[in-house]
Structure formats: C-alpha cells, structure tokens
C-alpha cells in the first residue's frame, strides 16, 4: 500500500516564535532549520544558551565556533542567555542534554505558556530516575503537548542543508502533522510516528550500542564483528521496546535501525568515538576528556539495564558496556565473556 502524503496546516498562520533551548551543535542546527534558506515562513527563532560569550558570538558572527565551526547559520536566529525572552514562544524545541533536561525544563515551567507544544530532541534516559524524556517533561512541564524528534542526524550535516530524514513521534497525530509542516523543508524531512515511547527507547539504547561498536573498531576486531554487534544490538533494543509496549515498526524506521546504523558506523558520533578510544586502550576518564561533548551512552547504559531488569529483559551487550564504562570491568575479559555465551536461535525472542 502506498504511503499517503502528509496534509496539515502549520501550527499557526501568523509568524510563529520558536524557542530552541540549548545552543550546542544540535540546537544550533535545529535553529538554522527553523529559519534557514529553505524556510519562507517568517517565523522568529530564539536560540537559548547558558554561555553569554557563546550567545554574543552567535549574534555577532552567525556561527557557533564551539560546536559547528566554519558552518554559517541563518542570520535570522536571535540568540539569548535569558529564558525570560522565550515567554512569547508558540513552540519550544528542548535540545539540552538528557541529564540536564529536568533542571532546564523546570526553569521553563514558569516561562512557557501552558498550551505551548514542546518537542523533545535529546536522546537519553535520566540516570537518577530511569525515566524517559517524555516522562520527565510531563512532570516538570505539565499539560504541555509533547512530541519526540529522533532519527539519524549529525548536526553538522543538518546545518549544512544536507538531506536528512527524522522521526517526529507523538500520541497526537494532528499535533505531529502540524509540527512536521512547521519544521520540515526540502532537505529536512520529518516522518510521523505515533510511538514516542519506542522512539525514545531506541534513541537511548543506540548510544550504548554505539560505544560497543566503537570498542570493536578500536580493538580492530573487524567489520564482521561490528555487523554482528549492530544486528544483535537491534535485537536487544527490540526486546526492550516491545516489553515496554512500543511498536515493531518503530524499530525498522528512522528512529530505530536508521539511527542505530548511523551512530554505530561514523566517527562523527561522540559515543562511537568514545568507544574507539576505549578500544585503543584509553581509560574511561581519558576517553571522556577527549570527547567533543556529552557521551550520553555512558549514562544510558546503567539506566537501560535498570529498565531492562524491571521488565525482565536480557541485554548482554548493554550490560557489557555498562560493566566497562561504569564499573571498571576489564575490556578483554568482558569481550571474552560475550563470545562465550551459549549459541541461540536468531530472533527478538532469543
């Protein structure tokens, strides 16, 4: 059956004020998407960041030299370090790291209007509570309509206008469709999903698996091993998503297989590069210090395992990553233990 084209109106006919909260690489790229050369909506885009010096640079140079050096950003982006400036926003994209989301969203609670849609763009699980980003946002931003933006995205490529497809997931199909029309362009193409839970779990687990794939590369274990790890990692991801009530089609889509493949095969991925450093012999502290940003998979490893235990799901690859990055397990012994596991039938129930 052919897919029906998406038909929906944008969030508002009048120009919209879009708040992008988080001035890292991904936040800056999304701000550019919202008002870049392919958008003719006239929407106002406010990009918030804590670093006043970076904010001043963004406004003066229309570039983010700390996270996207050499990539020009839309001159229409207005950067600010004051959350109060976001009070007029009709749409909010939350793009801060997963472990900072509760704090920043809590500060936004008294700023955003109660009916403003919030799109969660961070991939991860809150380490302290084990909650997904939608669960955290529902607690600290009650009543706001929520959606999840996920999929195979490197910020630098998005900011350069290279073709990118993403998953836009929400339990409210009308909201997701209107968000897709508001945010989408010729090169930034949202595909709708009604499974935000599956998209979130996939986005968190793929970061853990990317560390494992990086270790395989750093240890020079070969392309066969990496392909096997991606495939068996997808099986682990699938078991957890299905146990939580997510949908199998999410796993075969952009938020599942698409994001997993990208993150597990490219050095642009912080989690993959972190794993490569570990595989080459760096200790965890040195690998973290060398990272270009937050290695979210390190936090998600422990939180993923805690969730898996609650739902009685076995995740041997994720467990191995957690043992290495959070508990000091020796790399060679951990790999040997994985290879010594009993032979099993292939399938998500294996």
Q: Is 187 exposed, middle or buried (0-12, 13-18, 19+ CB in 10 A)?
A: middle
CB atoms within 10 A of CB 166: 25
Find out whether 206 and 259 touch, Cβ atoms under 8 Å.
yes
Q: Which ranges in 77-195 belong to alpha helices (H)? A: 101-108, 133-140, 155-159, 173-183
Say whether 39 is catalytic.
no
Exposure on the CB side of residue 326, measured as CA atoms within 13 A? 20
CB contact set of 7 (below 8 Å; sequence gap of 6+): 177
In this structure, what token pair is assigned to residue 47? 């990009």
Find out whether 73 and 40 touch, Cβ atoms under 8 Å.
no
Please state, in angstroms and rounded to a whole number, the distance separating the CA atoms of residues 240 and 199: 12
Please state, in angstroms and rounded to a whole number, the distance separating the CA atoms of residues 251 and 249: 5
CB atoms within 10 A of CB 267: 10
Q: Which ranges in the chain belong to alpha helices (H)? A: 25-35, 52-61, 101-108, 133-140, 155-159, 173-183, 196-218, 223-243, 248-251, 259-263, 270-279, 284-290, 296-310, 316-327, 331-339
Q: 3-class DSSP state for residue 132?
A: strand
Find out whether 23 and 64 touch, Cβ atoms under 8 Å.
yes
Among the listed residues 39, 123, 131, 206, the single catalytic one is: 206
Q: 3-class DSSP state for residue 155?
A: helix
CB atoms within 10 A of CB 56: 12
Catalytic positions, written as ranges: 206
């Amino acid at each position: 059956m052919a897919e029906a084209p998406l038909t929906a109106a944008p969030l508002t006919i009048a120009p919209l004020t879009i708040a992008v909260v988080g001035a890292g690489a991904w936040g800056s790229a999304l701000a550019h998407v919202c008002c870049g050369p392919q958008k003719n909506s006239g929407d106002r885009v406010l990009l918030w960041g804590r670093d006043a010096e970076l904010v001043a640079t963004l406004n003066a140079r229309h570039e983010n030299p700390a996270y996207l050096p050499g990539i020009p950003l839309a001159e229409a982006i207005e950067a600010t370090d004051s959350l109060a400036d976001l009070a007029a926003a009709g749409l909010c994209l939350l793009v801060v790291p997963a472990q900072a989301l509760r704090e920043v969203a809590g500060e936004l609670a008294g700023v955003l209007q109660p009916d403003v849609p919030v799109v969660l763009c961070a991939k991860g699980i809150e380490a302290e509570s084990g909650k997904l980003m939608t669960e955290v946002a529902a607690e600290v931003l009650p009543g706001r309509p929520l959606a999840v933006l996920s999929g195979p995205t490197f910020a630098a490529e998005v900011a350069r206008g290279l073709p990118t497809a993403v998953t836009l997931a929400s339990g409210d199909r009308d909201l997701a469709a209107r968000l897709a029309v508001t945010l989408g362009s010729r090169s930034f193409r949202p595909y709708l999903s009604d499974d935000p839970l599956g998209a979130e779990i996939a986005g968190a687990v793929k970061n853990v698996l990317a560390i494992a794939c990086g270790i395989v590369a750093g240890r020079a274990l070969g392309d066969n091993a990496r392909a096997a790890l991606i495939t068996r990692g997808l099986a682990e991801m699938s078991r957890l998503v299905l146990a939580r009530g997510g949908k199998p089609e999410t796993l075969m889509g952009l938020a599942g297989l698409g994001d997993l493949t990208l993150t597990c095969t490219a050095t642009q991925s912080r989690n993959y590069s972190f794993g490569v450093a570990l595989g080459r012999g760096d200790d965890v502290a040195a690998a973290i210090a060398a990272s270009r940003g937050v290695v979210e998979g390190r936090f998600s490893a422990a939180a993923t395992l805690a969730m898996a235990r609650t739902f009685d799901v076995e995740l041997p690859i994720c467990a191995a990553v957690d043992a290495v990055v959070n508990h000091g397990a020796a790399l060679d012994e951990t790999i040997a233990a994985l290879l010594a596991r009993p032979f099993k039938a292939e399938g998500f129930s294996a």
